Amino acid sequence: MGDTADGRVKDIFLGLDTSGFQTGLALVSGGAVLYETRSSAGTSHNESLLLLIRRALDAAGLQLDQLSGICLTIGPGMWTGLRVGLSTVKGLALPKGIAVKGVNTLQVIAASAGAGSGAVLAVMDARRNELYAALYHGTQVLISPQAGAALFWGRLVAERQPPGELVLAGEGSELIKPVLSAMGIRFVDSGVRLPEPAVIVRLGVELLKSEGPDRLSELEPVYLRRTDAEINLEGRLKGSL
């Protein structure tokens, strides 16, 4: 491994996940994981994220400006976590000119499950009796990421699942299992509950090669539905009329 003309180490990528209650981080070079960790973040990542990044770089003997790029989950997920993750990455990447790529959280969960020839239903708990979910078959998106109740998702899967086994992945798996069982849909639980940071890098690098880096001024989290703050504001405005 050598250096580029600007002093940046070739092929070193940082992967970050702030979509849930844990902060996930990995440093990856050429598919090899140099460093990977998870830390409980509760409802906010702002206190732990910069510290985790600093520890990872120190452990690998790297400086921030030696990174080739930063890949991060861009949603769906918790509103606060996604905002903190994205704002932190923008603040780090913009001054150093580091490439950034956002990756859909559900796509990372599905890829983390590694289902082989089967279709993967990636599921996250969206709260308010809803799930964020998407159905993938290899690189093909059979059902695009969206929010809906468990019964809604059971019906969609029944309509669009290809032949072969259905693999569940994501921390919302337990919420949809009873619906799938009641509908006679057979499934295998992958055991994957969270997006793997190293997989964020793998998918992000693939997207960087095919699409190029994201424009930081335009990059925003993917929520799939209105936030609680927007719903509460609408309620207050209606109540004042």
Write out pLDDT tens, residues 199-236.
999 999 999 999 999 999 999 999 998 655 444 433 44
Enumerate the β-bridge partners of residue 36: 26
Q: Which residue has the tokens 């009641």?
A: 182
- CA dist 145 and 136 (Å) reads 10
CB atoms within 10 A of CB 10: 12
- Asked if residue 237 has pLDDT above 50, the reply is no
Residue 97 CB partners (closer than 8 Å, separation 6+): none
169 token code pair: 């992945």
CB atoms within 10 A of CB 31: 10
51 token code pair: 């510290």
**Cβ(105)–Cβ(74) under 8 Å?**
yes
- CA dist 13 and 85 (Å) reads 16
- Asked if residue 115 has pLDDT above 70, the reply is no
3-state DSSP assignment of residue 128: coil
Whole-number pLDDT of residue 139: 85
State pTM to two decimals: 0.89
Helical residues (DSSP H) of the chain, grouped into ranges: 49-60, 79-96, 105-113, 150-160, 173-182, 197-211, 228-240
pLDDT in tens, 157-192: 999 988 888 999 999 999 999 999 999 999 999 999
Amino acid identity of 43?
T
122 token code pair: 């990636």
| Cα-based angle 29, 33, 217 (whole degrees, multiple of 5) | 60
Amino acid identity of 236?
R
Q: State how beta strands 166-169 and 119-127 pair.
A: parallel
